[in-house]
Amino acid sequence: MGKSLVCAAGLPEGWKGAFSKAPESTSVCPVESEAPASSEGEVRPLRLWELEVYLKCPVVGLCLTKQEQHQLLKRFGVQTKRMSPFDVHEVFVACGENENRLSLRVQGFLERKYARRCRELSGMDEPSLLREWGRDFAAGRMGESFWPLVTHPALSDAGRRKVFGDVHMAMHDSLEDRGLRLREIQELREAREGLSAKLRDSETACRRLEADMRALEKESAALLRRVEEAEGARAASGRDRPAREVERMARPEEERQRLLARAEVAEERLAAREGQMEVLKARVEELEREREQKDLFIRETHCILEGMKGQGGCDPNCPAYDLCSKRVLIVGGIARMETLYRRLVEENGGVFEYHDGKVRGGSRQLEERLKRADMVLCPVTCNSHAACLLVKNLGKKYNKPVRMLENHSVSSLARAMGS
């Protein structure tokens, strides 16, 4: 199996020597239900090639980073630039099938990397080891304890199977959550594209209105010039011509009045166009704010999704750390973000409650919800001064922890719940 995997990974012919069998003095120990003994009779930890087959894949995936895998291969002269991550993973899983140059190198690297944790667990029995694993697994620190546990001489085959089962099912859950997040991101992108199309249409309409306004301004200016010319001509004729001709030249007065009427109509149309422009500009600004909000949702959802990939980087500052089904009341914020608020609280083990922050005629309902809450979050940017003051007073009255948030974003709520 190991030889076929190496060939499938496209390694050069000279590389196969790394899988050559080690000297007889370090021959392979068979997998046993009991841990192997050292030359002095002491029970020692299992080695990589002594582990059950199903444990070698998670050992490589959890205990060796991609950078560490590439560095180990480069020491054997292997160029990994053209190898996919799966090809590299195959090589390390295959090398663990027997004792060879690469498996010995990996064994030594893992012993040095996890030496401190191995010493911490060295004197424990199986129940204590499984309790340690339960705490590390709940905190997301699987990678720190997986190798020390599965190689521990006091852990039985059943115990190793339980540890493997936890990791295996966590992988399935992570893939399911990742698919859900990707679908949500796609929906937000489609919504953003729709808003962008509406924004482009509004900008096109604005440009058309501006062109119409410029044309009306030119027409109005031309009409005013004609009126001025007519008045100048009439005044000149009154000075230079006899009274009889002046009377005859008074006839253009009707034309003048008509031109003035047209100028007034043009000015009214121009004022109407300006009103339409103001309405459209306000709509464009509203669409811009809504698109920025959608972009913020996409970035925050990306951050949450990237945080799930590690499956081992959580610490006590994570919003999912020990929420313990607390009832979280969110007051105010943006009403259409209620679904995202709910998902953030419930997916991290909390019970979600929401109040829109409108206290006119609704203060009693807010008080009832605050009394049964374990934690109250109140974004000050999306609440009235009266609502914020009422929340603070009710928190003091019923001795409830109240967090006043500077903004209404999902990341602010996540940080508040984690603090």
Higher pLDDT, 327 or 254: 327
Q: How confident is the model at residue 163 (pLDDT cuts 50, 70, 90)?
A: very high
Joined together, the tokens standing for residue 163 give: 């540890």
Cβ pair 320, 314 in contact under 8 A: yes
User: Comparing 206-220, 331-345, 370-384, which segment has the lowest mean pLDDT?
Assistant: 331-345
pLDDT digits (tens, 9 = 90+) for 52-66: 999 999 999 999 999
Give the pairing of strands 375-379 and 402-405: parallel
User: Comparing 10-24, 226-240, 331-345, which segment has the lowest mean pLDDT?
Assistant: 10-24
* pLDDT, mean of residues 216-243: 78
Instruction: List beta partners, residue 351.
Output: 327
pLDDT number for residue 326: 86
Highest mean pLDDT among 201-205, 320-324, 355-359: 201-205
Torsion of CA 260, 266, 272, 278, to 10 degrees: -120
Helix, strand, coil distribution of the chain in percent, nearest 5:
70, 5, 25
327-418: which CATH number, 3.40.50.920, 3.30.70.1560, 3.40.140.10, 1.20.58.1290?
3.40.50.920
Q: CA-CA distance, 184 to 294, in Å (whole number)? A: 11
pLDDT number for residue 27: 35
Instruction: List beta partners, residue 54.
Output: none
Q: CA-CA distance, 383 to 404, in Å (whole number)? A: 10
pLDDT number for residue 18: 57
Rg, Å, the chain Cα set: 38
pLDDT digits (tens, 9 = 90+) for 270-296: 999 899 999 999 989 888 887 777 667
Report the share of the chain in percent with pLDDT over 70: 76
pLDDT number for residue 298: 56
pLDDT number for residue 53: 92
pLDDT number for residue 10: 42
Q: How confident is the model at residue 29 (pLDDT cuts 50, 70, 90)?
A: very low
Domain ranges of the chain: 2-172, 185-310, 327-418
Cβ pair 373, 353 in contact under 8 A: yes
pLDDT for residue 313 is more than 90: no
The sign one gets for the Cα dihedral 360, 364, 367, 373 is: negative
Question: For the whole prediction, is pTM greater than 0.75?
Answer: no
Q: CA-CA distance, 224 to 207, in Å (whole number)? A: 26
pLDDT for residue 299 is more than 80: no
Q: How confident is the model at residue 302 (pLDDT cuts 50, 70, 90)?
A: low
* pLDDT, mean of residues 351-375: 86
Per-chain mean pLDDT for the chain: 80
Residue listed under structure tokens 């180990």:
72
Q: CA-CA distance, 73 to 10, in Å (whole number)? A: 13
pLDDT for residue 104 is more than 60: yes
Q: CA-CA distance, 315 to 143, in Å (whole number)? A: 13
- Cβ contacts of residue 129 below 8 Å, gap of 6+? 121, 149, 152, 154, 155, 159
pLDDT digits (tens, 9 = 90+) for 4-27: 444 434 444 445 555 655 544 333
Region of 366 on the Ramachandran plot (φ > 0 left; ψ -120 to 50 alpha; else beta): alpha
Q: How confident is the model at residue 396 (pLDDT cuts 50, 70, 90)?
A: very high
* CA proximity to 271, closest of 259, 260, 263: 263
Burial zone of 267 (CB within 10 Å; 0-12 exposed, 13-18 middle, 19+ buried): middle
Q: How far is CA 35 from CA 42, 129, 219, 306, in A?
A: 10, 15, 98, 38
DSSP 400: -
